[in-house]
Structure 1
Amino acid sequence: MSRLKVGAFFPSTDPLFGLNGRGLHITMAYRYGIPAVCNGRVDAILGGLVSYGPDLGDTWRQAGVYVGRILKGEKPSELPVMQPTRFELVVNLKTAKLFGIDIPPAILTRADEVIE
């Protein structure tokens, strides 16, 4: 990507990068000077430039409701498919400064969290 002069990248959300390789894509972003735009708050905390994705706390609460329904006797096959309903935008200004990127004020005011 650095040879191609890529301006930023969005890492895959597969289990290798999303779970097992937590932070690997951020490490590579810093090593090669290419900011990462991610899909989870944790990635922005680890040094990603921006993240936008499901609010994991809300997602886990939804899973807990499902577990409760199953434990009360409902059949999992009869439960509706649920998708995330809350999303978070997190901006890491430390990373933006490191990469020399100005984040527009409109993005900062819409962010759920700004890391300074």
Structure 2
Amino acid sequence: MDEIGIIVSSDDPKSLAMATNLGHVALTMDTDVFLYFTFDGLTHLLEGEKDLSSVQPLLDEGMPNPYDMLDQLIADGGEAVTSVACTTTLDMLQWEQEAIDDDLTTQFAGAVTFLEAAEEADHVFTF
């Protein structure tokens, strides 16, 4: 089976929307998805309300909520989707793992885990 790696390092909800859309398309093509949330992108995995003000005009025009898209990608993907919260970033920002939404995160790991997955991936994308 094919696999893609997706690095999410931006806190922009548009970046999350692009990453999750790509993940959904990959699943339809029978391709595994490895999402690696690091730096500012890690904020997408935090528990609690999300600020969608920067994409509100797009949402008003019909773009799906990027956080709903992430939920759906993880739910639809099952074992074909791995969602990783970067432990190095957590340590640097002094955030506790308990702040990360367990429903969105299948694994806590550092760069070595991503590099191993990227080595096996057919393509790696960054958002």
Same fold (TM over 0.5): no
User: Which protein has the bigger strand share?
Assistant: 2
Structure ranking higher in helix proportion: 2
Query: Which is higher, the Rg of structure 1 or of structure 2?
Result: 1
Q: Greater relative contact order: 1 or 2 (C-alpha under 8 angstroms, separation 6 or more)?
A: 2
